[in-house]
Structure 1
């Protein structure tokens, strides 16, 4: 594992980027644009995972736009459930990519259930070890942490992939409601800290313990109430 301050994340040769999500009116340069230009492994394609339930039409358009920006191919990897995550064709698409985009969507639990202990996750890990970067957008960013909250009322949190160790990620972090939701999750997991990431912003974790913010918003680190709370740029 790689560490910087209170954060510990999976070791690889690429970057791990946690985005709070794109705002309703995206900025001229999106988080994906920044990640593509700065951290995507050159001359390798972008693989988009739609498993959290985002719009396929929008993701296909995103794949086409990636080619215009980077000169490399972009494609949607058809993983919609556990069986798809065990298909050798999908393994190959992920393992050969230079940027893996975990797309936002209404069902983060579907994403973590499909990937957990799957060949698809092994392929993502292989690509990451070789220099590919991973971008988790919005709800998909939660999956990279220790616990994932369900979107349905009363749904119980489930273990995440744990690529960012002992951290619960709250995307679209804004105002007291977000803070209360994150503190409630932390209350059930006393060994964790929280990351509140607003829309239009991201926290980027590098292979040499670099920690950078992308966008204009502030990423907030929330500790358990016993230990207090602090903010991070």
Structure 2
């Protein structure tokens, strides 16, 4: 598999046991020479969360670690923060509130540097809120563990590092199938990708991803929807939708985003 430039984690990744996903993150860089940046933009506890991840990555052998803390819009215009992103080989966005990330970074020099770094090979890693924000359209709020309703979802533009997908995290654990179905019904050109906790997708430069971790990934394809009752009228009415496709993937499974198909590997005889 090619060295990918996105790792999208469904949140609550194992930090105390085998740390399978975080080990995979560290394997993407030269742990002796390259720089790993922990971005605490989303969290209300930047010092605590930054320190926790710094200790974990140090124990996993990463020598050069910086913490990017943006608590105000002006921080996204500071040269030293921009330079930190420009020098990074991997940027790890923690969980928290995804709207904080876009509202603090959007349109800033730091936002531009993040896009340029990623295009030049810097690996973007996001967990929980840091996962949702990676796409061009992101879910902000919606009902967990509820039947899908016609128009009860709040969405906003994300960072746009990956196009035509909508990411939802903590997926099975918080019963979010209903809200992702609504997201796809409202945006059928986008693939809905629900990622369980302690589970991640690693996206390579060909537009393929592979699943790792202990849970499942759910891909919802609305391109063949033949009917939906989505509208702003009677928003609490149950959503009706025909001919939608879903794939369920586990560790090791691969998916091709451009063709919207799982990659079936021939079994060895």
Q: Tell me whether the two structures share a fold, i.e. TM-score over 0.5.
A: yes
Cα deviations across residues 111-160 of structure 1 (Å, max 9, x unaligned)? 11222222112222333233321111012111111322224887831111
What residue is the counterpart of 1:88 in the other structure? 79
169-178 vs 88-97, greater mean Cα deviation? 169-178
What residue is the counterpart of 1:10 in the other structure? none
Match of 1:194 among 181, 184, 192: 192
In the alignment, the residues of structure 2 paired with residue 47 and residue 25 of structure 1 have an alpha-carbon distance, to the nearest angstrom, of 17
In the alignment, the residues of structure 2 paired with residue 187 and residue 174 of structure 1 have an alpha-carbon distance, to the nearest angstrom, of 19
What SS is found at the alignment partner of 1:22? coil
143-152 vs 113-122, greater mean Cα deviation? 143-152
Unaligned runs of 5+ in 2: 144-151, 223-240, 250-269
In the alignment, the residues of structure 1 paired with residue 185 and residue 122 of structure 2 have an alpha-carbon distance, to the nearest angstrom, of 34
1:40 aligns with 2:14: no
Q: Give how far 1:26 is off.
A: 5.2
Unaligned runs of 5+ in 1: 1-12
Q: CA RMSD in A?
A: 2.5
What residue is the counterpart of 2:166 in the other structure? 168
In the alignment, the residues of structure 1 paired with residue 14 and residue 59 of structure 2 have an alpha-carbon distance, to the nearest angstrom, of 23
Q: Give how far 1:32 is off.
A: 2.1
CA pair 71-165 structure 1, distance change in 2 beyond 3 A: closer
In the alignment, the residues of structure 1 paired with residue 115 and residue 136 of structure 2 have an alpha-carbon distance, to the nearest angstrom, of 17
In the alignment, the residues of structure 1 paired with residue 30 and residue 76 of structure 2 have an alpha-carbon distance, to the nearest angstrom, of 23
What SS is found at the alignment partner of 1:149? strand
Indicate if the aligned counterparts of 2:39 and 2:68 stay in contact, CA closer than 8 A. Answer: yes
Indicate if the aligned counterparts of 1:66 and 1:73 stay in contact, CA closer than 8 A. Answer: no
Written as runs of structure 1 = structure 2, the 5 A alignment for 1:100-179 is 100-105=91-96, 107-151=97-141, 156-174=154-172, 177-179=175-177
Indicate if the aligned counterparts of 1:194 and 1:222 stay in contact, CA closer than 8 A. Answer: yes
In the alignment, the residues of structure 2 paired with residue 72 and residue 130 of structure 1 have an alpha-carbon distance, to the nearest angstrom, of 22
Aligned residues: 219
Written as runs of structure 1 = structure 2, the 5 A alignment for 1:17-28 is 17-23=7-13, 27-28=17-18
Report the TM-score when normalising by structure 1: 0.83
Cα deviations across residues 58-81 of structure 1 (Å, max 9, x unaligned)? 321311332332342212112123
Q: Give how far 1:223 is off.
A: 2.1
